[in-house]
Amino acid sequence: MICGESVAAGITAIAATISSGRSAEKIAVLAAIFVHLGDTLETISVFRAKQEQCTEKSR
C-alpha cells in the first residue's frame, strides 16, 4: 500500500523539478493546467463510480 506521506513527498519533488528554471508566469500556467486536469479526472472518476453502482444494482 502507498503511504500518504510518501506520495506527498514525491509530488513535492516533482513540483520542484518541474518549476526549476521556469518563470513565475510559466509555473502559474502549469499549475492551472494541472488543477484543471485533476478536477476533470475527479469528475470522470465520480461518474464512473456512479455508473458502476447502477450496473451492480441492475444485476
Which pTM was predicted? 0.75
Give me the pLDDT at residue 38, please: 97
**10-52 pLDDT tens trace:** 999 999 999 999 999 999 999 999 999 999 999 999 999 999 9
Return the domain boundaries, the chain: 22-59
Contact 19, 27 (CB under 8 A): yes
Distance CA(18)–CA(27), nearest Å, equals 8
Contact 51, 44 (CB under 8 A): no
Distance CA(30)–CA(34), nearest Å, equals 6
